[in-house]
Amino acid sequence: MKFNFSGYNDKMKAQVAAWTKQCLSIPSSLILPVQRLPRYVLLIETLLKSTPDIVDEYPRLKDAYNLAKSVTARIDSEKKKIVRSETLLYYQKSIIDYNCDGPRYFIRDGNLTVKVKSKLKATVVIMSDVLYILVPKKKQFNIEFKYDKIYSI
């Protein structure tokens, strides 16, 4: 930043000079639109650590930090819910003879390889009320990927 500090006392000039040497330039501190909200939390946290608590803006900075942190946590939680519901919908469409009597939500899935006579590659899907072990059904031309259930609890 270019600013004329000639009208200020020597202590203020020394402080600004010290900040200029140890800080990044303002353009490098700005967050690009593609970066996420947690970057703002980190930026505000850094500002909070380097701001003395006797400064008038300190309580507002602390409030901004707490608010940004809670908003980030809420967004992350909602994103996880959306991903889980989309994954549940994917398996509802993909599992042959899929049935559900009550409310169900997706917990986790993963791949499983069993070596018996030949390698059996399966997908394990854990939902709130059922565990599926699925093997892929043979793909056919222009048909969505489907699973046959080999085991469900």
Convert the pLDDT of each residue in 59-103 to its tens digit.
Answer: 889 999 999 899 888 988 898 999 999 998 888 888 877 788 788
For 95-112, the pLDDT digits (tens) are 877 788 788 888 888 887
Q: Report CA-CA distances (Å) from 146 to 4, 56, 97, 108, 136.
A: 70, 62, 10, 18, 6
CA angle 123, 97, 125 (to 5 degrees): 25
Q: How confident is the model at residue 2 (pLDDT cuts 50, 70, 90)?
A: low
Place of tokens 């699925």: 134
Contact 43, 28 (CB under 8 A): no
CB under 8 Å to 123, separation ≥6 — which residues? 109, 110, 111, 112, 132, 133, 134, 135, 136, 147
Q: Report CA-CA distances (Å) from 138 to 66, 104, 134, 135.
A: 52, 27, 13, 9
